[in-house]
Structure 1
């Protein structure tokens, strides 16, 4: 009888843990940065706008939404953005 209660308690705890992990995963997906408008502004004067938008979006997602404002802003505004060398992030 005690093993049945223990097994039931363990099953309930495992179910609770799985539901909490699922909620955390959904929450993490919801909090993705909105890079579209930031990168559109950043790439507005680019001579290759499509490539600029692709690389800017990748950098923005990596840097948790940090993109230097406007096409001429310094990359030093975002430390993560500035660490990529050789023009990887526009």
Structure 2
């Protein structure tokens, strides 16, 4: 019985921490991408791809355009046609 309770507690702890990290990371990306895409002509598309890139790279360049050297992962992501994936 003790093994079952301790296993349940451990699994609950791990899941709780992972959910907290995801929500904290998500709000970071949401805020950064909202500013990054604030002047974009296609705002929904910009937010989508910025969010994908932010989740994978854990950073978003400052400003609304350019500055991609601040985040090499973000800068180097390519789409299927070889163009830049991240706005």
TM range (shorter): 0.7 to 0.9
Structure 1 residues not aligned, in runs of 5+: 1-10
| The structure with more radius of gyration | 1
Residue number in structure 1 paired with 2:85: 88
Give the SS at the match of 1:71: coil
Aligned length in residues: 79
Structure 2 residues not aligned, in runs of 5+: none
TM-score normalized with structure 1 length: 0.73
TM-score normalized with structure 2 length: 0.75
How far 1:46 sits from its partner (Å)?
1.2
Once residues 80 and 14 of structure 1 are traced to their aligned partners in structure 2, the CA distance between those partners, rounded to angstroms, is 42
Give the SS at the match of 2:64: coil
**What value does the CA root-mean-square deviation take over the aligned residues?**
1.7
Are 2:75 and 2:84, in contact at CA under 8 Å, matched by a contact in 1? no
After the TM superposition, which segments of 4 or more aligned residues of structure 1 sit over 6 Å from their partners?
A: none
